Amino acid sequence: MQERIFNFNPGPAALPLPVLQEVQKDLLNYKGEGISVLEMSHRSKTFDGIIKDAAQLMKDVMGIPDGYKVLFSQGGATLQFAAIPLNFISQGQSADYINTGRWAQKAIDEAKKLGKAVNVIATSEDANFNHIPTDFQVTPDAAYLHITTNNTIAGTQFHTYPDTGHIPLIADMSSDINCRKIDVSQFDLIYAGAQKNMGPAGVTIVVMREDLLEKSPADIPTMTSYKIIGGKDSLYNTPPTFNIYVVKLVLEWIQNMGGIEKLEAVNRQKAEELYKAIDNTDFYRGTVKEDSRSLMNVTFRLPSEDLEKQFLSEALEQGMLGLKGHRSVGGIRASIYNAVPLEAVDKLVEFMTDFETKNG
CB atoms < 10 A from the CB of 50, how many? 22
List, by residue number, the catalytic residues. Answer: 103, 172, 196
Residue 197 interacts with ligand PLP (CB under 6 A)?
A: no
End-to-end CA distance of the chain: 36
Residue 76 interacts with ligand PLP (CB under 6 A)?
A: yes
| Residue nearer to ligand PLP on the CB measure, 121 or 153 | 153
Residue 168 interacts with ligand PLP (CB under 6 A)?
A: no
Residue 156 interacts with ligand PLP (CB under 6 A)?
A: no
CB of 234 to ligand PLP, least distance (A): 16
| Residue nearer to ligand PLP on the CB measure, 103 or 284 | 103
Please identify which residue in 85, 155, 193, 240 interacts with ligand PLP, judged by CB under 6 A. 193
| Residue nearer to ligand PLP on the CB measure, 130 or 174 | 174
Residue 148 interacts with ligand PLP (CB under 6 A)?
A: yes
Residue 275 interacts with ligand PLP (CB under 6 A)?
A: no
CB of 325 to ligand PLP, least distance (A): 14
Distances (CA, A) of 336 to 269, 288, 355: 11, 16, 20
Stretch of 41-49, 71-79, 131-139, 263-271 lying at the interface with ligand PLP (CB under 6 A): 71-79
**d(Cα 5, Cα 26) in Å, to the nearest integer?**
23
Residue type, 157: Q
| Residue nearer to ligand PLP on the CB measure, 9 or 119 | 9
* Per-residue x/- track, 239-258, ligand PLP (CB under 6 A): --------------------
Of 313-342, binders to ligand PLP (CB under 6 A) are none
Stretch of 172-180, 247-255, 329-337, 346-354 lying at the interface with ligand PLP (CB under 6 A): 172-180
* Per-residue x/- track, 94-113, ligand PLP (CB under 6 A): ---------x----------
Total residues contacting ligand PLP (rule CB under 6 A)? 12
Residue 172 interacts with ligand PLP (CB under 6 A)?
A: yes
* Per-residue x/- track, 10-29, ligand PLP (CB under 6 A): -x------------------
Query: Which stretches of the chain bind ligand PLP, using CB under 6 A?
Result: 11, 76-78, 103, 148, 152, 172, 174-175, 193, 196
